[in-house]
């Protein structure tokens, strides 16, 4: 599926790395040609003053869910290795790398260890050659520091980023909540917030030793964010991510035992939620991703501690991040760098920004369009969103992948 005719999107508000500019953008042969008015023979799309932004690059999804991605304006998704079987073999990585094309590009993340067991390094170089764009430890932390150091050294040689789950398994294993007043009142198995800081401290120290690039996929506590901030200040190649749940919700959202709020890492206290918002504002957090992990009723209609952690996040990534713009935490260019530009740079793909020569992955957005999130009507394979019945503002109204309109 290739672009057959040049397209000019006119009368739009273009979200570029340099700021918002009013005008037009032309898409030719699957790439952004220039910021210019329509030419003879172009197909003309009137943006009507809406936002014209890069397609979102969702870093770290657990399922390929095209309807949900299209609804949310996501044109590329980096798939976590936690599949069945895990992405620890080159042939599996190669199959996944081709699976979404042409209307979605899936960038597989290579499993760091065989079977994601945390003991023996997988054949990472072969998986890179097969299409893996980064290495990930999966849903769990690698407890063996020797294995983690070797992984980081190997990744540094291959110039691949290591995406780590920052949660000390010795403290956090089996926990369903963050230790504190809410967990105590509800009688939930819990782990101290320090489980994240301990894991982050170890991984940052080893990355600094190895000279490797480290991305902590979700950093959700004040203590861990302070560690990331300090490491960046001394030049360590560490980046941090978060999902909307951890800057929108605190552990108060678990008070009714609603398992849609059963997440990994678990929701934190209000002080940590505010710390996440501060870290987004000051640049400590580099990426906002959906954490898309759809689970049906067989996994969620269980006692809170027994329910599978995870949320269907692809459809709510955009509107929840736009709340940060309305609240004055970030501006629009920064919001789209968090959702598209920074993930694209991390994966080494020519996307995530509106610049001539990059892939024509474009989303047209009505930032003021109101709607209500409804788990019963979601495009995802399951509707396990912690934002169920919450009013939202901002919707993708059209999506182009490589210059071809998808919706």
Count structural domains, the chain. Answer: 1
Any domain includes 4: no
Q: Report the C-alpha gap between 101 and 82 in whole angstroms.
A: 21
Q: For residue range 6-15, what is the model confidence (pLDDT) as tens digits?
A: 999 999 999 9
Any domain includes 178: yes
Q: Residue 102: its pLDDT value, please?
A: 86
Q: For residue range 274-290, what is the model confidence (pLDDT) as tens digits?
A: 999 999 999 999 999 99
Any domain includes 24: no
Nearest to 265 by CA among 294, 292, 243, 233: 243
- Residue 166 φ then ψ, to 5°: -90, 85
Q: How many CB atoms lie within 10 A of CB 305?
A: 17
Q: Residue 174: its pLDDT value, please?
A: 82
Alpha-helical (H) ranges within 17-144 are: 66-72, 90-99, 124-129
Any domain includes 87: yes
Q: Which residues, at least 6 apart from 385, have a Cβ–Cβ distance to it below 8 Å? A: 260, 311, 312, 313, 315, 316, 373, 375, 378
> What CATH number has the domain bearing residue 199?
3.20.20.140
Pair of tokens at residue 320? 């929840």
Q: Which residues, at least 6 apart from 181, have a Cβ–Cβ distance to it below 8 Å? A: none
Structural domain of residue 254, as residue ranges?
55-353+375-390
Q: Residue 148: its pLDDT value, please?
A: 98
Any domain includes 111: yes
Q: Residue 286: its pLDDT value, please?
A: 98
Q: Residue 342: its pLDDT value, please?
A: 98
Q: Residue 237: its pLDDT value, please?
A: 98
Q: Residue 320: its pLDDT value, please?
A: 98
Mean pLDDT per 10-residue run, the chain (407 residues)? 91 96 96 94 96 98 96 98 97 94 93 97 97 97 97 98 96 90 95 97 98 98 98 98 98 94 97 98 98 96 95 98 98 98 97 96 97 95 96 97 92
Any domain includes 41: no
Any domain includes 385: yes
Which residue is listed with tokens 């710390």? Answer: 275
Question: What DSSP character marks residue 167?
Answer: -
Q: Residue 179: its pLDDT value, please?
A: 96
Q: Residue 144: its pLDDT value, please?
A: 97
Cα–Cα distances in angstroms (integers) from residue 185 to residues 177, 269, 305, in the given order: 11, 14, 14
Q: Residue 55: its pLDDT value, please?
A: 98
**Packing angle between helix 194-210 and helix 222-233, nearest 10 degrees?**
20
Q: Residue 101: its pLDDT value, please?
A: 85
Any domain includes 366: no
């Amino acid at each position: 599926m290739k672009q057959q005719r040049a397209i000019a999107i006119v009368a739009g508000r273009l979200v570029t790395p340099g700021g918002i500019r009013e005008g037009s953008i032309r898409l030719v042969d699957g790439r952004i040609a220039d910021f210019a008015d329509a030419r003879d023979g172009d197909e003309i799309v009137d943006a009507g003053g809406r936002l014209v932004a890069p397609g979102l690059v969702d870093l770290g999804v657990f399922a390929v869910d095209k309807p949900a991605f299209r609804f949310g304006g996501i044109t590329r998704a980096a798939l976590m290795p936690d599949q069945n079987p895990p992405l620890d073999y080159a042939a599996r990585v190669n199959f996944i790398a081709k699976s979404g094309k042409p209307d979605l590009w899936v960038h597989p993340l290579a499993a760091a260890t065989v079977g994601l067991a945390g003991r023996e390094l997988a054949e990472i170089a072969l998986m890179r050659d097969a299409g893996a764009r980064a290495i990930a430890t999966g849903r769990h932390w690698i407890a063996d520091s020797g294995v983690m150091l070797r992984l980081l050294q190997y990744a540094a040689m291959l110039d691949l980023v290591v995406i780590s789950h920052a949660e000390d398994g010795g403290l956090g294993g089996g926990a369903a909540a963050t230790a504190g007043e809410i967990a105590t009142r509800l009688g939930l198995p819990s782990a101290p917030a320090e489980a994240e800081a301990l894991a982050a401290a170890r991984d940052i120290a080893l990355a600094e030793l190895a000279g490797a690039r480290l991305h902590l996929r979700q950093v959700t506590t004040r203590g861990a964010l302070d560690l990331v901030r300090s490491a960046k200040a001394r030049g360590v190649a560490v980046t941090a991510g978060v999902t909307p749940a951890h800057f929108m919700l605190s552990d108060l959202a678990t008070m009714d035992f609603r398992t849609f709020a059963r997440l990994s890492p678990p929701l934190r206290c209000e002080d940590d939620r505010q710390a996440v918002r501060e870290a987004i504002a000051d640049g400590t957090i580099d990426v906002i991703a959906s954490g898309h992990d759809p689970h049906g009723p067989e996994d969620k209609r269980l006692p809170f501690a027994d329910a599978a952690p995870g949320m269907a996040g692809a459809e709510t990534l955009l509107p929840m991040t736009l709340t940060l713009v309305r609240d004055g935490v970030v501006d629009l260019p920064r919001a789209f760098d968090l959702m598209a530009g920074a993930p694209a740079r991390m994966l080494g793909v020519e996307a995530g920004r509106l610049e001539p020569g990059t892939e024509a992955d474009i989303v047209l957005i009505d930032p003021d369009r109101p709607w209500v999130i409804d788990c019963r009507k979601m495009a995802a394979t399951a509707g396990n969103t912690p934002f169920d019945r919450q009013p939202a503002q901002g919707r993708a109204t059209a999506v182009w992948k490589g210059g071809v309109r998808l919706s």
